[in-house]
Amino acid sequence: MIKSLFKVACGLFLVSASGISHADETCMSPYMAKIVGQEDFVYVWTLGEEGLGDEQDKLVTISVNPDAPDYGKVVDSLSVGGRNEAHHSGFSDDRRFLWAGGLDSNKIFIFDVHTDPAKPTLHKTIDDFVSKSGGVVGPHTFYALAGRMMITGLSNNKDNGGRTAMVEYSNKGEYVATHWHPTDEDLRGAEKSGQFADGYGYDVRVMPRRNAMFTSSFTGWSNYMMDFGTMLADPEAMKRFGNTAVVWDLHTRQPKKVFDMPGAPLEIRCAWKPNNNYCFTTTALTSQIWLMYEDEQGEWQAKAVADIGDPSKVPLPVDISITSDDNGLWVQTFMDGKARYFDISDPFAPKQVYEKVIGSQLNMISQSWDGKRAYFTSSLLDNWDKKGELDEQFFKSYTWDGDKLNLEFEVDFKKEKLGSAHQMRFGAYGLYGMDRPWENEQSDEGADEAAE
C-alpha cells in the first residue's frame, strides 16, 4: 500500500530536466508520467490484414520528432503473431511497459518500451485472460492505476454478448480481481438512475481527486467482430449495444450509479483542471456529446450537451480527445472521415468550430500535451472498416495552429505492408532519463560512452 502510494506521488510530481513532467498527452491516466514537450515516437498498435505483408498484428514505431534524422519514418515493426483484433493499449503507471490487447484472441501483449524507446520488445504475453477473469472477453482499455492495470472487457465467454466486467491486474501481469458491471439482477449496490442497467462495458477513466471512476458501454464480441454492413441490417444485432455509463467508487471499486446514455457511449475523457469535475463521452450510434458532472450537491449527473454532425446520418463518432486546458474536444467521425474540433469552454454547451476530412475513414486521435500536434489513424475494427478502395489505412501527423490542421507527413500502412493502423501511444527518451541519440552526437563526442 505504502509502496503504491509512493508510486502515485512519483507519477504526479516527477519533473525531469528534459521537459518531461507528469501526465501525458491529455487522455492518459493521472497516475502516469506525461510527455509535456516533444514526443520522439508514436507507437501504433496495428491490425494484421489478410493478404498484406506478414498478415499479423504488430506494434509499429514511427519517429515523430522533427529533429530526428529519421523523422517521419517507420523505425520499427514488431510482429506478435496472429490477427488478435489489435485495438487499444496503455502504459503501466511507471510508463516502462505498454500493454496492448487483442479483442478477438483475448491475448495481452506487454511491450518493454523503456529499454530502447526506439525499439520496443515483447516482454510478456498474457494468454489466460478469459479463464483468469472468470469469463471476460475482449480486453479493451488498459488504464494505469497505482501499481495496477485496470482492463475493461467488452464481452463474455458465455454468449459473446455485451455483458462484461473490468479486470484488474498487477503491474507484474498477475490477475487481481474482476469487477462486473451492474445488471438488473445484481446491481452490486449501485443505483439504477434510469431505465437501463445492461452490464455492458467499454472505456474507463478516473478522477482521483473525487474518488471517482467512470465506465461506458459498447457491444459484445458477436457485434464488434461482425461485418459492419451485415450488422447494420440486422435489427437483433443492433439492439445489442450499450446504453449506460457508470460512476464507481475508485477506492472500493464499487459501482455507485448507472446512467442512461442511449446509443453506445465510448471513449471517456475527464477534465484536467482541479475544479473541473466533469468528463465527456460521445455516443457512437446516436452521435451526441455527453457530460458526466458533479452537481452542487456533489452528486454525479449525466446530460447530453451537443449533437455531432447530423445524427440521423449516423456519422459514428469514435475517438475523442480533450485539450489539456479543458477548452477543446476533438471528435472523430468514422463514416465521413472528419476530425471535428469543439469549443468546450462551456462544458454544457460544446460548439463545433472546425472540421476537416482526414481520410476516407477515421478513428483515433492522439494530441500532444500542448495541443500543437495531432496524429490520426484510420482503422476502427477489422470487420467494420470500409471495403475496397475506401479502406485507406494511414497514420497522419498534423500540426494544429489553433485555427486549422496542417499535414506534416503521413505513413501509408497499406503501401508499407503493415496493416490497419489503430491506437497510438507516445514515447520519449526523456521519460527514462535518456538523451536523444542525435542530440548526443551533436553536443558531445562522449556519446560513445553511452553506447558502450
Partner 1 sequence: MRFQFAGLALALLLCQYAAADSNTEASSEAALPSIRLAPGDDKSGYDSTAYQTNSLSLEHRKGTALNLAAFAIEPQLGLPDPKESLELEPNAAEIALGRRLFFDRRLSRNQTMSCAMCHIPEQGFTSNELKRPVGFEGRSVKRNAPSLLNVRLYERFFVDARETSLAQQAWSPLLASNEMNNPSIGHVLEQINRDPVYQQQFKQAYGKPADMLNVGYALAQYQQSLLAGDAAFDRWKYASDKTALSKSQQAGFELFTGKAACASCHLIGDQYALFTDQQLHNTGAGYQASMLGEQKEITVILAPGIETTIPAEVAQRVGEPKPNDLGRYEVSLNPKDRWKFRTPTLRNVALTAPYMHNGEFLTLKDVVNFYNQGGQAHSALSPLIRPLNLSATEVDNLIAFMQSLTSSKLKLLVADAFAADVQDPE
Between residue 172 and residue 191, which ones bind partner 1 under the rule CB under 8 A? 180, 183-187
Q: How many residues bind partner 1 (CB under 8 A)?
A: 74
Helix or strand run (H / E) with residue 87 = strand 86-91
Report the C-alpha gap between 266 and 321 in whole angstroms.
Answer: 12
286 contacts partner 1 (rule: CB under 8 A): yes
Binder of partner 1 out of 32, 60, 246, 285 (CB under 8 A): 285
Binder of partner 1 out of 29, 63, 89, 106 (CB under 8 A): 106
* Cα distances (Å, whole numbers) of residue 318 to 5, 14, 411: 34, 32, 21
Block residue for cell numbers 472540421? 355
51 contacts partner 1 (rule: CB under 8 A): no
The DSSP secondary-structure symbol of 64 reads: -
Nearer to partner 1, 46 or 283 (CB): 283
Nearer to partner 1, 131 or 406 (CB): 131
125 contacts partner 1 (rule: CB under 8 A): no
239 contacts partner 1 (rule: CB under 8 A): yes
Report the C-alpha gap between 249 and 170 in whole angstroms.
Answer: 19
Residues contacting 222, CB < 8 A, separation 6+: 155, 160, 161, 237, 240
For the record, the C-alpha cell of 94 comes out as: 511507471
Nearer to partner 1, 83 or 436 (CB): 83
**Span 191-230, contacts to partner 1 by CB under 8 A:** 195-199, 221-230
Piece in contact with partner 1 (CB under 8 A), picked from 295-303, 305-313, 351-359, 419-427: 305-313
312 contacts partner 1 (rule: CB under 8 A): yes
* AA letter at 77: S
**Span 331-370, contacts to partner 1 by CB under 8 A:** 335
Residues contacting 397, CB < 8 A, separation 6+: 42, 64, 72, 373, 375, 407, 408, 409, 410
Query: Counting Cβ atoms within 10 Å, is residue 81 exposed (0-12), middle (13-18) or buried (19+)?
Result: middle
Report the C-alpha gap between 31 and 381 in whole angstroms.
Answer: 29
Binder of partner 1 out of 7, 34, 58, 83 (CB under 8 A): 83
Q: State in angstroms the smallest separation of the CB of 267 from partner 1.
A: 18
Binder of partner 1 out of 78, 176, 237, 434 (CB under 8 A): 237
Return the beta strands (E) in 223-287 as ranges. 244-249, 254-260, 265-270, 278-283
Report the C-alpha gap between 404 and 352 in whole angstroms.
Answer: 13
x/- letters, 374..413, toward partner 1 (CB under 8 A) = --------xxxxxx--x-----------------------
Q: State in angstroms the smallest separation of the CB of 253 from partner 1.
A: 15
Q: State in angstroms the smallest separation of the CB of 318 from partner 1.
A: 13
Main-chain dihedrals φ then ψ at residue 356, nearest 5 degrees: -150, 135
Q: State in angstroms the smallest separation of the CB of 153 from partner 1.
A: 11
**Span 133-152, contacts to partner 1 by CB under 8 A:** 134-135, 137
Piece in contact with partner 1 (CB under 8 A), picked from 17-25, 153-161, 203-211, 273-281: 153-161
Contact 340, 322 (CB under 8 A): no
Residue 169, strand partner residues: 149, 175
Q: State in angstroms the smallest separation of the CB of 451 from partner 1.
A: 41
Piece in contact with partner 1 (CB under 8 A), picked from 33-41, 69-77, 159-167, 412-420: 159-167
Q: State in angstroms the smallest separation of the CB of 448 from partner 1.
A: 47
Under DSSP, is residue 434 helix (H, G, I), strand (E, B) or coil?
coil
x/- letters, 250..269, toward partner 1 (CB under 8 A) = ------------xxx-----
Report the C-alpha gap between 335 and 259 in whole angstroms.
Answer: 27
